Structure 1
Amino acid sequence: MSENDMYEDFADRYDWMNIHDPAREVFFKTLFKKNNVSDVLDCACGTGKDLIMFHSLGYSVIGSDLSNAMLRKAHENLKEASLDLPLINSDFRELEKHFKTQFDAVVCLTNSINEVLDESEVRRALESMKAILRPGGILVFDQGQSDATMKNPPRYDPVINNRDFSRLFVLEYSANVMQVKIFDFVHTEDKCEFNHTTVNVAIRLKDDWDRILSDVGFSDIHYLGDLDFAPYDKNTSRRLIVVAHK
């Protein structure tokens, strides 16, 4: 989340690992119906794929992101889908400066919240998200790090390997930070290309979020272990999904 756009060289490749997941659609449709959600802010919308999904499910949706490179790609994806949805260049630590209305739901997905390494800045982000939620509104964020996976943290993750493209994550750990080195290989009949991107992610687990979210003033906090709404289990869950009410 520095002033330099770390996604400048990655935005055009980001969607290469985007795979349609019907379970993800069912999860959000069920969650939003249960919580009477009609309008959504995706405050780390990236390339806009989730904006397209939320719109297809019938929700009024706005996207914001700090990365201009990601927003440019989001514009391309929305145009390709024949959609004209609002996209705002905004730091999710300062949402109240850009949005005067409030939302039924704010989502911050795919580990975006943990790209803010400093805990005081994470609190600032959560306070900003809370400020633009209606009373009773929900904040949703998710991450791949869980108590179970961090007991024996992975070093390598071959995310994609098909005929034309391979993506490998190489993971290194220092204190409470995970450095994700992303190696992309294009290997078609007429093209051979290699690209590398590095992203640093803070490691925050359930007890950390319990403390931080409570301090910020969120209530009725639910922790899920998967898209099937299974309760989060420190011993077995392989992901962490947080749903917190204002």
Structure 2
Amino acid sequence: MTQQKEQHYAEDPVQVRETGQYQNEYVPGFAEKWDQLIDWDGRAKSEGDFFIQTLREHGAQNILDVATGTGFHSVRMIEAGFNVISADGSPAMLATAFENGKKRGHILRTIQADWRWLNRDVPGTFDAIICLGNSFTHLFEEQDRRKTLAEFYAALNHDGILILDQRNYDQLLDEGFSCKHKFYYCGEDVVAEPDHVDEGLARFGYSFKDGSKYTLNMFPLRKDYTRRLMAEAGFQKVTTYADFEETHRQESPDFYIHVAAKNAE
């Protein structure tokens, strides 16, 4: 199948609010530049061992990375000793992730999968599922979000956990954009800023040093709404962190990280 080379939107891009739109956004050119945006070394330093320690604290060994992107977290966790399956809905991202893994001496076990039918596409169950990089916001319909969380829940072992992150859309919607991307977007030669924001759409533009620009249409999830959906999907305990710290310690984080336990301890 030939992959499209340019992003495609309708005549009015801000009216494109569909779960499958990411397939038209993560074209090969954007996937190849994504690592300039996150900067692997910079992001590893800013994250520290938060995810690795969280997984170890819960006794996780077999990990499903459902939004592997260009492979950053999959590679980090393989190198930390975890068994990892790397999934993504974008073939361009998976291809880039596989090449990134090879460059670092690893053969990633990659699967293209739609979260809404995760258990059809990815066999087995896991100790932990990670859904990082603000990826959950590609789901525009509530029924898709609920279906996805149900699929995640079903793919976890009895004491499994889901780690899911999201941008602080509450601040973006209520106060405007001031995020410095100091934890997640570490690239120095990339500008990421919103082109349009309303309660149903956060459209971001990503401008690179060579003059190229790409966009992403995302649904602006509010923190408490995400937590409620997790609880209603069956997760017994949801702990939310703000930029890798407990929520109450920081009022205006760039990102939130939810750690949802399938069964309360």
TM class, shorter-chain normalised?
A: 0.7 to 0.9
Q: 1:151: how far off?
A: 3.0
Give the number of aligned pairs: 235
**Number of the residue aligned with 1:70:** 93
* Whole-Å separation in 1 of the counterparts to 2:205 and 2:252: 26
Q: 1:65: how far off?
A: 0.5
* Whole-Å separation in 1 of the counterparts to 2:179 and 2:49: 30
Q: Which runs of 5+ in 2 are unaligned?
A: 1-18
* Whole-Å separation in 2 of the counterparts to 1:18 and 1:234: 23
Q: Tell me the amino acid that sits aligned with residue 207 of structure 2.
A: F
Q: Tell me the amino acid that sits aligned with residue 177 of structure 1.
A: L
* Whole-Å separation in 1 of the counterparts to 2:249 and 2:219: 20
Offset from partner CA, 1:85-139 (integer Å, 9 cap, x none): 2100111221100223110000010110011111111111111111100012000
Q: 1:64: how far off?
A: 0.4
Greater strand share, structure number: 1
8 Å contact kept, 1:95–1:128: yes
- Alpha carbons of 1:221 and 1:241: their partners in 2 closer, same or farther (altered >3 Å)? same
8 Å contact kept, 2:111–2:122: no
Q: Tell me the amino acid that sits aligned with residue 92 of structure 1.
A: W
**Number of the residue aligned with 1:241:** 257
Q: SS state of the match for residue 164, structure 2?
A: strand
8 Å contact kept, 2:179–2:254: no
1:13 is aligned, of 33, 52, 56, to: 33
Q: Which runs of 5+ in 1 are unaligned?
A: 187-193
Q: Tell me the amino acid that sits aligned with residue 70 of structure 1.
A: M
8 Å contact kept, 1:41–1:107: yes
8 Å contact kept, 1:55–1:61: yes
More relative contact order, 1 or 2 (CA 8 Å, 6+ apart): 2
Q: 1:233: how far off?
A: 5.9
Q: Tell me the amino acid that sits aligned with residue 36 of structure 1.
A: G
* Whole-Å separation in 2 of the counterparts to 1:69 and 1:33: 31
- Alpha carbons of 1:94 and 1:161: their partners in 2 closer, same or farther (altered >3 Å)? closer
8 Å contact kept, 2:38–2:187: no
Q: SS state of the match for residue 22, structure 1?
A: helix
**Number of the residue aligned with 2:222:** 205
**Number of the residue aligned with 2:14:** none
Q: 1:157: how far off?
A: 6.0
Q: SS state of the match for residue 106, structure 2?
A: coil
Q: Tell me the amino acid that sits aligned with residue 12 of structure 1.
A: E
**Number of the residue aligned with 2:60:** 37
Q: SS state of the match for residue 93, structure 1?
A: helix
Greater helix share, structure number: 2
Q: 1:211: how far off?
A: 2.1
Aligned pairs for 1:88-127 (under 5 A) are: 88-127=111-150
- Alpha carbons of 1:136 and 1:156: their partners in 2 closer, same or farther (altered >3 Å)? closer
8 Å contact kept, 1:5–1:67: no
Calculate the TM-score normalised by the size of structure 1. 0.87
- Alpha carbons of 1:135 and 1:156: their partners in 2 closer, same or farther (altered >3 Å)? closer
Q: Tell me the amino acid that sits aligned with residue 106 of structure 2.
A: L
- Alpha carbons of 1:79 and 1:238: their partners in 2 closer, same or farther (altered >3 Å)? closer
2:203 equivalent to 1:183: no
Q: SS state of the match for residue 243, structure 2?
A: coil
Q: CA RMSD in A?
A: 2.2
2:20 equivalent to 1:2: yes
* Whole-Å separation in 2 of the counterparts to 1:184 and 1:48: 20
1:154 is aligned, of 154, 172, 177, to: 177
* Whole-Å separation in 2 of the counterparts to 1:129 and 1:157: 31
Offset from partner CA, 1:144-193 (integer Å, 9 cap, x none): 2153454312178686775xxx321231202232110111122xxxxxxx
8 Å contact kept, 1:225–1:241: yes
* Whole-Å separation in 2 of the counterparts to 1:207 and 1:25: 26
